Amino acid sequence: MHEVPRVNPEEIYPKLRSGEALLVCAYDSDARFRQVHLEGAMSLEEFKSLQPTLPRDREIVFYCA
């Protein structure tokens, strides 16, 4: 199993603002997503539905609160 690198908000924020990265809330529950989503984040369900069409050169940042 590979270790997932952790990023801090200061390093990822510019990438999110510029569109270089996508922010995905890692909760399966829509109710939980509504409670803890960050501005600009997509739900895990939305990510799964869009995954086949997303550009492969964009960084994807998953988070949970």
pLDDT (tens digit per residue) in 14-29: 999 999 999 999 998 9
Per the domain annotation, does 41 fall within a domain? yes
Q: What is the pLDDT of residue 64?
A: 85
| Number of structural domains in the chain | 1
Model confidence at 2, in pLDDT bands (50, 70, 90)? confident
Other CB atoms within 10 Å distance of the CB of residue 46:
14
What pTM, to 2 d.p., does this model score?
0.83
**Mean pLDDT along residues 56-60:** 92
What DSSP character marks residue 59?
A: E
**Mean pLDDT along residues 40-62:** 93
Per the domain annotation, does 45 fall within a domain? yes
Q: What is the pLDDT of residue 53?
A: 95
Q: Percentage of the chain surpassing pLDDT 70?
A: 100
Give the pairing of strands 21-25 and 59-63.
parallel
Among the listed residues 12, 48, 14, the one whose alpha carbon sits nearest the alpha carbon of residue 28: 48
Query: CA dihedral in degrees (56, 57, 61, 62; nearest 10)?
Result: 10
The parent domain of residue 54 ranges over 25-65
Per the domain annotation, does 39 fall within a domain? yes
